A and B are shown apart, each in its own frame.
Chain A
Amino acid sequence: MAIFMGNQVAVIVGTTTISTFVSSVALNREVEAVEITSMTNTSRNYIGGLEASSLSLELFNDFDGATSVNALFENALGTKLNIKLIPVTGTVTASNPSYSMSCYIGSWQPISATPDSPSTASVTFPVTALLKSTSA
């Protein structure tokens, strides 16, 4: 797969696909830098520490049913949810890898509204485990 448009990302929460409620998604991978500068170094020196990635979502909110967007996240508040992302909805391959993660749902916006637009939720969750896979 070459470059691709970002309009087909699959977002799966547990077993529920919520892609059609997602207007923006960003998985930010980050590893903390642990400083190991010693007396012999002429510049600061680092090694990789713990991964501290995060997942940001812009969602159209929905209260309709037990697997609605709001129910999925609000019911999980204070716990973790398994979330899976696939760059292009469809088969997971080496050129279309999946990212499976456990996210701590520490915050949620059941109400975020203005009179001139649909109700949305803008959230960022810390990722506590992340696995990249090239096969389903």
Chain B
Amino acid sequence: MSMVPSNVRNGLKTNLTTITGLRCFDIIPDSVPLPAAVVGQLDLVFDTSMARGLDTAEIEILLIVGRMSERAGQNKLDGYLAGSGSSSIKAAIEADKTLGGACSTLRVTTATAGTITNAGADMLAYRYQVEVIG
């Protein structure tokens, strides 16, 4: 299998869409309605196996929840960060580890706290790293 980046990003977006209320993008939008997840670009390492069988990709997914001052934003974030449950980003992405056949397997490896400025305001954000093999 050789991954097609657009299919991988589409697949991640499709999996994330199962979280109620979360807006998902596989392209970087000009403005972001919140809460939102933006699937980034693939960092590829080729030739994980012989004969162009497998490549490995790292993809960043940016989760933007809301203004840092909002308690509601923090509460939502707790649900997204959980390892399981209907709002869990990790559980949603790993619900279909082949992304409908776009890859062989994947794993959400890390979620790192941070902020992002959106429309002039500091927003609560998390950067998820996803390792994709295919």
> Inter-chain contact count A-B, CB under 8 Å?
40
Q: Which residues of A contact B47 (CB under 8 A)?
A: 7
Q: How far is the CA of A10 from the CA of B133 in the complex (A)?
A: 20
Are the CB atoms of A23 and B48 closer together than 8 Å? yes
Total interface residues on A, CB under 8 Å, equals 15
Q: Which residues of A contact B107 (CB under 8 A)?
A: 116
Are the CB atoms of A116 and B50 closer together than 8 Å? no
Asked if B74 is at the interface (CB within 8 A of a chain A CB), the reply is no
Q: Which residues of A contact B50 (CB under 8 A)?
A: 7-11, 19-20, 22-23, 25, 89
Q: How far is the CA of A20 from the CA of B50 in the complex (A)?
A: 5
Asked if A108 is at the interface (CB within 8 A of a chain B CB), the reply is no
Task: Report B41 CB to chain A, min CB distance, Å.
Answer: 23
Within 8 A of A (CB), among B55-106: 105
The list of the 6 closest CB pairs from A to B, nearest first, reads A20-B53, A19-B51, A19-B50, A7-B47, A22-B50, A89-B51
Chain A residues near B (Cβ < 8 Å): 7-11, 19-23, 25, 60, 89, 116, 118
